[in-house]
Chain A
Amino acid sequence: MSETDAQTAFIRSEMLAPQLPPVTERGVIKWLRENLFAGWLNSLLTLVSLFVVVSIIVTALPWWLNGVWNAGSLGECRTIAGPEGGACWAVIKARWHQYIFGFYPQDAYWRPILAFGMMFVALAPVLYYGLRAGAKLIGVVAVLTVLSLAALDHNIAHVGAIAVLMAGLFAFSVIAPKRLVYVTILYPFIAFWLLWGGSIWKPVATLLGFGVMVLVYRLIQPRLGVIMGTAVGFVAACLYWLFVQGAITGALGDAWPTLTAVNSDQFGGFLLAFVIGVTAITCSLPIGILLALGRRSDMVLIKTLSVGFIEFIRGVPLITMLFTASLLLQYFLPPQTNFDLILRVVILVTLFAAAYIAEVIRGGLAALPRGQYEAADALGLDYWQAQRLIIMPQALKISIPGIVSTFIGLFKDTTLVSFVGLLDPLRGVTQIVRADINWKGIYWEPYIFVGVIFFLICFGMSRYSMYLERKLKTDHR
């Protein structure tokens, strides 16, 4: 630039061609210098971390590599592994079915597997925007379901029938992806019947109760509004469940089709974790939304009730609530009622999660500018329309990270049900396995196994939430 120094007028005679940056400013060297060796402190930390990572690997690797897969007991494992020691994965090989299914009858394993596969079919229209992605998910799940059934169930008729069913669902998701929502609506009842068995007319009669609710709502809502419609519909459905349903199921009895009944105390392992976790997650979101709206309501009674509920639930440890579920409710309910323990636990875990979800969503609501409410009002939208079309889509989007954190926490908290005598995978099943004389003294392997599965599930949820955030990002900030 020296030619411009001495004079004020300057005219460039030829344009400069772009050049590459110097060697230290590009590629791997630049990355290393900026990220690992930016200063003496940074370099020191890099070296120390490297040392820690390497020494951990050096210590633990032989144990992993020396793992024994085929052995009948811990002693046998130790003999095979020799003096340097090694992991005894044989325990997983021997007992994995208890970690997955608890004491669920072995010849009925196809039922939870089918229920699990169908769960993804039911979730597909909820989880994915693109209907194509949903169909792809269903295809993959269908293949996996049939494969795992073929491995576990030796009844060819079962496997064949389920293969046909899953293929049918996949075809359905390709041909009429929007209709898949009906599978979602029916899924809770199908899953209940598959898992607990008994007469199919019990869940069908329960489903009818929801039919009653919708019917009454449709009749009342145009005249008395959303809130009255919902309230009266709910009361009507409760009356139906209390007084009519018993008569219907009693009359139909054990009419075809029936499955062998499985008792709640036979549930265990990840089957139990999923039953509690998935039900509580699905139910707590809508309840949480209503609680969050209630807490921001102008109506004093609704606001006080919501605040009271949220603060009470958040102030009490989950274990207390689980003990309440297993012991105290028994005292308050009429003596002959046989209220299923899993159901009681699910209800309390749902309420527990709903209180947290409500607060997370309230944060999202508070983050919305007041102008959004005003614009919705100024256009003449009523309260529920504004909430559904304008406020909630935005508030939920803001709250996704918080909501998913709560769900992940909830899913891991399902292991606490071991305190009320249910067989959760972490403590319940592991205790049983370690009580076996063959595996007495085994420590790391079962916990690592359970931990890895929990990690995969929770990591999956976290990745999904990131996908959703990207998908919903429309503000282009």
Chain B
Amino acid sequence: MAEAQKMQVSDEVAIRISNMNKWYGTFHVLRDINMTVNRGERIVICGPSGSGKSTLIRCINRLEEHQQGQIVVDGTELTSDLKNIDKVRSEVGMVFQHFNLFPHLTILENCTLAPIWVRKIPKREAEETAMHFLEKVKIPEQAHKYPGQLSGGQQQRVAIARSLCMKPRIMLFDEPTSALDPEMIKEVLDTMIALAEEGMTMLCVTHEMGFAQAVANRVIFMDQGQIVEQNEPKEFFNNPKSDRTKLFLSQILGH
């Protein structure tokens, strides 16, 4: 991938997670997570279901609370302080498996809501930004429709545009293509690849191994709430070290 090489990774730290633990009741979902994400890095997190990968990226914008350890996003530590949480959330965009668009608002209103109310940007300016990003995800003509009138792939692209309208410094993707028909996966992945090429810092939970090979500069494999293996994509796929990783890869690439 020639383009992938062009993408620059800086030394600046975007996210630092150290000795982080999380429990659901007494169930230990995330165990001693340590990781650092530099600005401009594109990280793919994979693993079997229930391995805690979604929970991990949901901790990064505090949709889930961690009980031990430290998460620092863009220099702000996540604690129970609401001001910090709102600050981090406005800097970190998130795309969900089920899109979670607001069904009572038009596509344009979905995209302008947060800039207007959180960033206090004038309505006209917010609409211009929204149209810019809707063009970028190639659906400006749908701006005045409601989410229910769009296909799954279109809805997911709107969700990406909605996050981008906040001009985030980091994007989190929580299985963005898992709820889509095979034909629509490509249009969403293309959007994500274009975003990666612009140097966005991305953390992506996905099973799209082609995407991982094309754009990721690191692949993290998780199992039972722990990071089992992480490596560059080429090494990770061609030469996995741990037995658990080998088993996982043989199962998802086997046919």
Residues of A within 8 A of B (CB): 369, 371-372, 374-375, 377-382, 385, 389-390, 393-394, 397, 472, 474-477
Report which of B87, B98, B118, B149 forms a contact with A379, defined as CB distance below 8 A.
Answer: B118
Q: List 10 A-B contacts (CB under 8 A).
A: A374-B96, A378-B93, A379-B89, A380-B86, A381-B113, A381-B118, A382-B82, A389-B113, A394-B102, A472-B104
B82 to chain A, nearest CB (A): 8
B193 to chain A, nearest CB (A): 22
Whether the pair B104, A378 counts as a contact (CB closer than 8 A) is no
Q: How many A-B contacts at CB < 8 Å in the complex?
A: 70
Mostly, the A contact residues are helix
Whether the pair B98, A380 counts as a contact (CB closer than 8 A) is no
Closest to A385 in B: B117
Contacts of B146 in A (CB 8 A): 474-476
Contacts of B104 in A (CB 8 A): 393-394, 397, 472, 474
- Cβ of B21 within 8 Å of any chain A Cβ, yes or no, is no
Contacts of B252 in A (CB 8 A): none
Closest to B119 in A: A380
Whether the pair A374, B100 counts as a contact (CB closer than 8 A) is yes
Interface size class of B (residues with CB under 8 A): 20 to 34
Closest to B94 in A: A378
B145 to chain A, nearest CB (A): 9
Closest to A477 in B: B148
Which of B100, B113, B146, B149 has its CB near the most chain A CB atoms (within 10 A)?
A: B100
Closest to B145 in A: A476
Contacts of B92 in A (CB 8 A): 378
- Cβ of B20 within 8 Å of any chain A Cβ, yes or no, is no
Which chain B residues (107-145) contact chain A, with CB distance < 8 Å? 113-114, 117-118
Contacts of A390 in B (CB 8 A): 102, 113
Which chain B residues (43-85) contact chain A, with CB distance < 8 Å? 61, 63, 82
Asked if A389 meets B63 with Cβ closer than 8 Å, knowing A371-B100, A380-B89, the reply is no
Given contacts A369-B98, A380-B114, A394-B102, 7 further A-B contacts (CB under 8 A): A374-B63, A374-B100, A377-B89, A378-B92, A380-B166, A382-B86, A389-B113
Contacts of B101 in A (CB 8 A): 375
Whether the pair A380, B90 counts as a contact (CB closer than 8 A) is yes
Task: Provide the bound-state CA to CA distance between A389 and B148, in Å.
Answer: 18
Which of A380, A381, A475 has its CB near the most chain B CB atoms (within 10 A)?
A: A380
Contacts of A476 in B (CB 8 A): 146, 148-149
Whether the pair B89, A372 counts as a contact (CB closer than 8 A) is no
Contacts of B103 in A (CB 8 A): 394, 474-475
Closest to B98 in A: A371
Contacts of A382 in B (CB 8 A): 82, 86
Task: Provide the bound-state CA to CA distance between A476 and B117, in Å.
Answer: 27
B216 to chain A, nearest CB (A): 22
Closest to B58 in A: A374
Task: Provide the bound-state CA to CA distance between A410 and B118, in Å.
Answer: 39
Contacts of B89 in A (CB 8 A): 377-380
Whether the pair B118, A378 counts as a contact (CB closer than 8 A) is no
Task: Provide the bound-state CA to CA distance between A306 and B146, in Å.
Answer: 36
Whether the pair A372, B63 counts as a contact (CB closer than 8 A) is no
Closest to A474 in B: B146
Contacts of A389 in B (CB 8 A): 113, 117
Whether the pair A371, B96 counts as a contact (CB closer than 8 A) is yes
Task: Provide the bound-state CA to CA distance between A379 and B146, in Å.
Answer: 19
Task: Provide the bound-state CA to CA distance between A160 and B93, in Å.
Answer: 62
6 shortest interchain CB distances as A-B pairs: A380-B90, A375-B100, A476-B148, A371-B100, A379-B114, A380-B89
Whether the pair B61, A378 counts as a contact (CB closer than 8 A) is yes
Task: Provide the bound-state CA to CA distance between A254 and B201, in Å.
Answer: 72
Whether the pair A475, B114 counts as a contact (CB closer than 8 A) is no
B148-170 contact mask (Cβ, 8 Å, vs A): 1 or 0? 11000000000000110010000
A390 to chain B, nearest CB (A): 6
Report which of A369, A372, A472, A475 forms a contact with B148, defined as CB distance below 8 A.
Answer: A475
Whether the pair B100, A381 counts as a contact (CB closer than 8 A) is no
Contacts of B61 in A (CB 8 A): 377-378
Task: Provide the bound-state CA to CA distance between A375 and B101, in Å.
Answer: 8
Closest to A472 in B: B104
Task: Provide the bound-state CA to CA distance between A375 and B147, in Å.
Answer: 14
Task: Provide the bound-state CA to CA distance between A377 and B94, in Å.
Answer: 10
Contacts of A375 in B (CB 8 A): 94, 96, 100-102
Whether the pair B117, A381 counts as a contact (CB closer than 8 A) is yes
Contacts of A394 in B (CB 8 A): 102-104
B95 to chain A, nearest CB (A): 9
A477 to chain B, nearest CB (A): 7
A315 to chain B, nearest CB (A): 33
Task: Provide the bound-state CA to CA distance between A477 and B149, in Å.
Answer: 9
Contacts of B166 in A (CB 8 A): 379-380
Which chain B residues (192-250) contact chain A, with CB distance < 8 Å? none
Task: Provide the bound-state CA to CA distance between A379 and B159, in Å.
Answer: 11
Task: Provide the bound-state CA to CA distance between A390 and B147, in Å.
Answer: 14
Contacts of B90 in A (CB 8 A): 379-380
Whether the pair A474, B86 counts as a contact (CB closer than 8 A) is no
Task: Provide the bound-state CA to CA distance between A406 and B170, in Å.
Answer: 47
